[in-house]
Amino acid sequence: MGGCFSDIKGGKQGIGGTPQRPIEEAGGGPNDAVDLFYRSHGLHSLFTPLELSLVGSNLRDRDITSKSDPIAVVFAQKNDGKLEELGRTEVLLNTLNPVWINKITVAYQFEMVQKIIFHLYDVDTKYHNIPVKTLNLKDQDFLGEASCFLSEIVTKQSRSLTLNLHSKNRPGVSTNLGTLTVHAEETVASRSVVDVVFRCSKLENKELFSKSDPFLRISRIIESGGSVPICKTEVVDNNLNPIWKRLSLSMHQFGSKDNPLIIECFDFNSSGNHVLMGKLQKSVAQLEQLHKEKTGANFVLPSSNRAQEKVLKGQLFVDHFNEKKQFSFLDYISSGYELNFMVAVDFTGSNGDPRRPDSLHYIDPYGRLNSYQQAIREVGEVIQFYDSDKHFPAWGFGGRKPDGTVSHCFNLSGIETEFEVAGVEGIMAAYASALHNVSLAGPTLFGQVVDRAAQIASQSLSHHGNKYFVLLIITDGVLTDLQETKEALVKASDLPLSVLIVGVGNADFSQMEILDADKGIRLESSTGRVATRDIVQFVPMREVQRGQISVVQALLEELPGQFLSHVRSRDLKPCNFGGAQTFA
């Protein structure tokens, strides 16, 4: 049932701009690591990244004492009919005609038929300061659904399509649930980010018993003449001379520094009917000028009666203006940042006696590769592409060494002092020989291998680390001690390290999903320390083999994001960029 009270605090937040908390995941959208891999193999960019802007109108009212607080969620329909979420807009307060600011990025593949489904919900739960992706859709009120093919939008001249909303499972029946307009634009990858602090003076008072509660909304003018909002500031209560928090705008949001932007100042109303106090049009270059000259620009109020707009006393000032560069994953890699891969192979008894054909470790005399060999080869091809020196530290865990002891981190090469092997072939050879020398034992514990990888990663920090490490754990399954692994991962969570767990065989890998904290639940150690960031990714090989996802895609999916969260939080730049590299 619709709730009575909207989350007013949530409605007052700033929206849009680029994330300012450095540790937030910087991924999302098409993966340039995957793209580079394919391009290097002769497969050119198979898609165009598009941004969808959504506008709803005449939505159904679900809240009792106020209007709905709508959010739009975009899904792609896969071949088997299942829906995969592509992204969500932000939640807008109290409106039946939402103009969402947050865009959804979609990869447009022109040779494929891509069906896009939109679901609109009225958010009833509190959403202030909570990341939108953690909102549980089942708790919200469904407002309507629409669908279309991506090609339908792209082939229209205006790149906009208006769809009627209908209730689920009844597409033909028109039930007057309102409409949704989708506008698509190509994203232009760009590096420049502009930090601005806006201030206003002498704003008009639009309220009776107190002062206005102003906020700014910044929009970009699009080709068809309309405008698309790119961000809004937070609301400052009761103030006619407000100064807002720093806003970060990326060039791909505002286009170019000379593109005119519309800046509107509204008085916030919890009813959702914000009153326009004034607007003006300035490009980013002009805003920079305002900052340099320390002058203000007057707001105007468009008038419907006279042709002339009314110039207001209220002025906009730019108190802070800073242009900085935000680099992509590829910028770092191509500048000399090294990725170093490490491999750990599971030698626990659950794999089955290697002499038996049904064992995951069975070496077929006719040359057919077993699950581990397949995984090493497929994964190896990808990592070899990105690894700088093609020498991989390689370990085994859970096996009994020739001297009789069980080790949870032994060198795959079999030599005490040599923990590295050369190339993917080196890993394959070391693996095969290890099967002769090491007998399978147990239990399945990752902790020591993660600790060893963490040790190597942290030691590299002293040598002006331009290195990022990726540990690949190939395992058949179920961990004996989940907490032990969590401890090791939490301790390693602030290092330049990512852990990719590749699951072979048919075991139940639900534990791995806990470690790959995709739902936002951070790992916690028994001492009270919480993981700084999510450094784990899990890939089940059987899904790869069924063709549902590609190895490349699965492995590299979270890697750019994890890498960027590490370098951006410390303000590290690509290697040869402007002078000395300081590591935080």
Partner 1 sequence: MSKFYSSISISSRTIEITVLSAENLKSNRRSIKKNAFAVVRSNVGNDFRTTVIDTDGGSNPKWNDKLVLDLPVQAPALTVEVHCKTTTGNRLVGTATVPVSDFFGGYVPENYLQFLSYRLRDQRGDSNGIINLSVRTKVPPAPVYSCSAASASSSAATVVGVPLSVGKNIFSGVVTGLPV
- Please report, as ranges, the residues that interact with partner 1 according to CB under 8 A: 9, 21, 23, 126, 128-130, 455, 458-459, 461-462, 494-495, 522, 524, 527-533, 569-570, 583-584
DSSP 398: S
Q: Kindly state the smallest distance separating residue 581's Cβ from partner 1, in Å.
A: 14
Our CB check for partner 1 shows the closer of 5 and 110 to be: 5
DSSP 66: S
Q: Kindly state the smallest distance separating residue 102's Cβ from partner 1, in Å.
A: 19
Our CB check for partner 1 shows the closer of 176 and 455 to be: 455
Q: Kindly state the smallest distance separating residue 285's Cβ from partner 1, in Å.
A: 29
Our CB check for partner 1 shows the closer of 130 and 300 to be: 130
Our CB check for partner 1 shows the closer of 156 and 245 to be: 245
Angle of CA points 486, 492, 495, to nearest 5°: 155
Q: Are 422 and 452 in contact (CB under 8 A)?
A: no
Residue with tokens 């000259």: 293
d(CA 352, CA 355): 8
Q: Kindly state the smallest distance separating residue 313's Cβ from partner 1, in Å.
A: 28
Our CB check for partner 1 shows the closer of 467 and 529 to be: 529
Q: Kindly state the smallest distance separating residue 534's Cβ from partner 1, in Å.
A: 12
Which phi and psi (to 5°) does residue 498 adopt?
Answer: -125, 145
Q: Kindly state the smallest distance separating residue 455's Cβ from partner 1, in Å.
A: 6
Closest CA to 513 of 481, 490, 536, 488: 536
Q: Kindly state the smallest distance separating residue 237's Cβ from partner 1, in Å.
A: 9
Q: DSSP H helical segments within 309-395, as ranges? A: 329-335, 371-386
Q: Kindly state the smallest distance separating residue 130's Cβ from partner 1, in Å.
A: 7
Length of the chain: 584
Our CB check for partner 1 shows the closer of 3 and 255 to be: 3
DSSP 349: G
d(CA 492, CA 518): 18
Our CB check for partner 1 shows the closer of 114 and 125 to be: 125
Side-chain half-sphere CA neighbours of 281 within 13 A:
9
Our CB check for partner 1 shows the closer of 121 and 127 to be: 127
Side-chain half-sphere CA neighbours of 132 within 13 A:
21
d(CA 150, CA 110): 9
The rounded Cα 347 to chain-centroid distance in angstroms is: 34
- Residues facing residue 107 across a β-bridge: 49
- Tokens representing 94 are 């109290």
